[in-house]
Amino acid sequence: QVQLVESGGGLVQSGGSLRLSCAASGSDFSRNVMGWYRQAPGKDRELVATMSSGLITNYGDSVKGRFTISRDFVKNMGYLLLNSLNPEDTAVYHCYARKMGITYWGEGTLVAVSW
């Protein structure tokens, strides 16, 4: 059974940083795309960042220059470093991985940014 489990969320003050982790199990995603989306209350799901197996990255416009995606292909892990956080970054952050036409999602981890 494939599972993606996020961790590292929490409450942080504006200007602060967090590091999210995504642990994948049940399948090897080292040759596939992994990434992050987020969803704030009352808003549509928003792309945060993705990284291919060839280390090609893509970021949402609202996080470019502040967030950094990385992966550990040996450990089957994904990471998201969030810097210069502001209250508009408050959301549930979901990890995903796509393989053979199937997208797998984690339950998400909450990031809350206060003034």
Amino acid at 12: V
Using pLDDT thresholds of 50, 70 and 90, give the confidence band for residue 77: very high
Mean per-residue pLDDT, 75-101: 97
pLDDT at 40: 96
pLDDT at 66: 98
Using pLDDT thresholds of 50, 70 and 90, give the confidence band for residue 103: very high
Mean per-residue pLDDT, 1-21: 98
Amino acid at 9: G
Mean per-residue pLDDT, 50-65: 98
pLDDT at 28: 96
